[in-house]
Amino acid sequence: MEAVYPYAHIIHLILAIIFLGYVFTDLAVISTLKNKFSKDTQKEINQTMGARSFKIFPISLLALVLTGGMMLSKYMNSDAGFIQTDLQKILLFKILLVLVIVAGVLSNLYVRFTKGTKSKFMQNDFHKLVIVLGFFIVVSAKLMFII
């Protein structure tokens, strides 16, 4: 695992930048622009973005979880323990935040595949939650090695 760790780490960082960058762009730029167009154009923008995000979000999140799991095994295992050090406690906190995002993405995928309708929260506020959780995940990642 030691030999794979640096590669998993680089892939994980690149995917995190892509994932959070996409969410930030949607919140900061695209959401602002949507309000400048007619309802028909807004609908077309939403459909185009939905199709694109359907490809980007789940795949990048899956790869993030997989590379994160690979790195996790270095710090939490039968030899190192599970909740014995501050690093492990912060890592567990990070995992809980990630699980909230994963649950939201899985919920959106379920709604999409069953052709249901998204809740108002998922439609309007999920990306806001993701960016806040992403911020705390990034800060936690840095804190793990400072504390």
Mean pLDDT, consecutive 10-residue stretches, the chain (147 aa), reads 90 94 88 80 80 82 95 88 91 97 94 92 92 97 91
Q: Which residues lie below 8 Å from residue 33, measured CB to CB, with a gap of 6+?
A: 45
Instruction: Compute φ and ψ for 137, nearest 5 degrees.
Output: -65, -45
Residue 138 CA, distance from chain mean position: 11
pLDDT at 52: 78
Report how far residue 47's alpha carbon sits from residue 2's, in angstroms, rounded to the nearest whole number: 43
Instruction: Compute φ and ψ for 15, nearest 5 degrees.
Output: -65, -35
pLDDT at 44: 84
pLDDT at 17: 94
Record the pTM.
0.88
Scan for tokens 């990642």, then name that residue: 141
pLDDT at 81: 82
Give the 3-state secondary structure of residue 21: helix
Sign, CA torsion 112/15/131/26:
negative
DSSP for residue 77 = B
